[in-house]
């Protein structure tokens, strides 16, 4: 009887924990996959299937059916399909409103029409509206009123002249296609300029930046850089559009020309002839602390250890034990460890943001390296 009661209490406690787990990255955007509507959720560390289903007001078994390869616990940073239902749609409408993503059809149409107008047309239309809003002019004007009208006419003429100059400057710039790239782009084999083929994947730019980070000794390395890449039929990056913005909180450390001439991946076949939005990502920390080694045991000196890395304490001790002959050592040591990860992300559009959802990753690498171990 006592055993049954204990099991019941544990089950209730677990259910309460699962239900209380907060999912902060709910994605309310509908994506059509093979003709069916879904919500695409990126699994973050520690998230459970039960909590995710609750956040989307979805059925767990239906999610499992659409994602037959799911494991327990869930693999971090994979995307899972959440089936679209009336119940989930109602919940996601609330989420979208809270996130400020809701947009009426009328607003969207106005914004679309505005984009299609040439700068000159839009400026003239604004001037016409401005004139319409002005009160009708009395034709019986005195000298002072005529002077004011003449001055305003000169100002309007100057504005129109400025717009004409701007229009000419725009015409002189390279003509871009609808994706924002220069038109009539050639394959590398036919290019007159001869784009240099680097025979390296684009992930190599991360390793170059990582090597610089190790050399300079900075406390941390953060890369979050978004670009739109054109991949030619040879699988090589031939053009790059800079998509780094304050909205996406980009770091702006890389020269985008470094990406040209590189292969998108070791296997470029799926990307040949495509335009894809990618993110170049790296988060690496340099953790410094002191340890005491005695009789094969490693003890971290607490006052020297950064509290934000407390969860990795055991991992760092294991790294030291596996890297150094601690059985023969007896002293205090200064330790520096590099801890982080790097990866290339491929994105799907989230409303107006082409980088809103990570649909896949490439070249994922975990970094855990004992950089320094010196006696004090």
Instruction: Express as a percent the part of the chain with pLDDT over 70.
Output: 69
What's the rounded mean pLDDT across residues 5-15?
43
The total number of structural domains in the chain stands at: 2
What CATH number is given to the structural domain containing 26?
A: 3.10.350.10
Which of 98, 117, 147 terminates a domain? The answer is 98
Q: What is the pTM of this model?
A: 0.49
Which of 73, 98, 123 terminates a domain? The answer is 98
85 and 208 share a domain?
A: no
Note the pLDDT of residue 113: 52
Rounded-to-integer distance, Cα 168 and Cα 318, Å? 66
Rounded-to-integer distance, Cα 9 and Cα 3, Å? 10
Statement: residue 104 has pLDDT above 60: no
257 and 374 share a domain?
A: yes
Which of 46, 73, 98 terminates a domain? The answer is 98
Rounded-to-integer distance, Cα 199 and Cα 194, Å? 14
Least confident range from 60-74, 173-187, 339-353: namely 173-187
Q: CB burial class (10 A; 0-12, 13-18, 19+) of residue 290?
A: middle
What's the domain range around 43? 15-98
Which one of 94-108, 135-149, 154-168, 288-302 scores highest in mean pLDDT? 288-302
Least confident range from 168-177, 250-259, 290-299, 350-359: namely 168-177
Ramachandran quadrant class, 46 (left: phi over 0; alpha: psi -120 to 50; beta: rest): left
Rounded-to-integer distance, Cα 227 and Cα 120, Å? 29
Buried b (16+ CB within 10 A) or exposed e, 294-319: eeeebebeeeebeeeeeebeeebbeb
Residues 320, 291 contacting (CB under 8 angstroms): yes
226 and 94 share a domain?
A: no
Tell me which of 76 and 357 has the higher pLDDT.
76
Task: Tell me if 142 is assigned to some domain.
Answer: no
84 and 211 share a domain?
A: no
| 326-368: pLDDT as tens digits | 999 999 999 999 999 998 888 776 555 666 677 788 888 899 9
What's the rounded mean pLDDT across residues 246-267?
79
């Amino acid at each position: 009887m006592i055993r049954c009661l204990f099991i019941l209490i544990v089950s209730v406690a677990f259910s309460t924990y699962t239900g209380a787990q907060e999912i902060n990255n709910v994605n309310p955007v509908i994506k059509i996959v093979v003709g069916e509507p879904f919500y695409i959720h990126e699994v973050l560390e520690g998230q459970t299937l039960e909590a995710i289903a609750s956040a989307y007001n979805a059925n767990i078994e239906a999610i499992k059916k659409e994602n037959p390869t799911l494991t327990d616990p869930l693999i971090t940073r994979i995307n899972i399909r959440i089936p679209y239902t009336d119940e989930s749609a109602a919940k996601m409408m609330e989420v979208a409103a809270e996130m400020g993503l809701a947009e009426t059809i009328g607003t969207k149409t106005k914004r679309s029409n505005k984009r299609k107008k040439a700068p000159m047309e839009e400026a003239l239309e604004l001037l016409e509206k401005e004139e319409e809003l002005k009160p009708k002019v009395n034709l019986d004007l005195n000298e002072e009123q005529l002077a004011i009208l003449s001055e305003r006419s000169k100002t309007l003429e100057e504005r129109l002249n400025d717009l004409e100059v701007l229009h000419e400057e725009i015409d002189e710039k390279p003509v871009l296609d609808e994706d924002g790239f220069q038109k009539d782009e050639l394959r590398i084999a036919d290019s007159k300029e001869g784009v240099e083929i680097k025979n390296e994947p684009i992930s190599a730019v991360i390793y170059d930046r990582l090597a610089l980070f190790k050399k300079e000794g900075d406390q941390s390395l953060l890369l979050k850089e978004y670009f739109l890449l054109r991949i030619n039929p040879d699988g090589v990056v031939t053009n790059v559009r800079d998509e780094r913005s304050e909205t996406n909180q980009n770091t702006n450390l890389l020269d985008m020309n470094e990406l040209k001439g590189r292969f998108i991946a070791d296997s470029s076949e799926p990307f040949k002839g495509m335009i894809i939005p990618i993110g170049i990502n790296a988060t690496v920390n340099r953790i410094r602390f002191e340890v005491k080694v005695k009789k094969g045991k490693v003890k971290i000196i607490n006052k020297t250890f950064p509290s934000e890395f407390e969860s990795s304490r055991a991992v760092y001790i294991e790294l030291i034990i596996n890297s150094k002959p601690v059985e023969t050592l007896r002293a205090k040591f200064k330790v520096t460890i590099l801890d982080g990860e790097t990866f290339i992300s491929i994105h799907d559009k989230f409303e107006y943001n082409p980088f809103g959802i990570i649909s896949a990753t490439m070249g994922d690498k975990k970094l855990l390296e004992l950089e320094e171990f010196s006696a004090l």
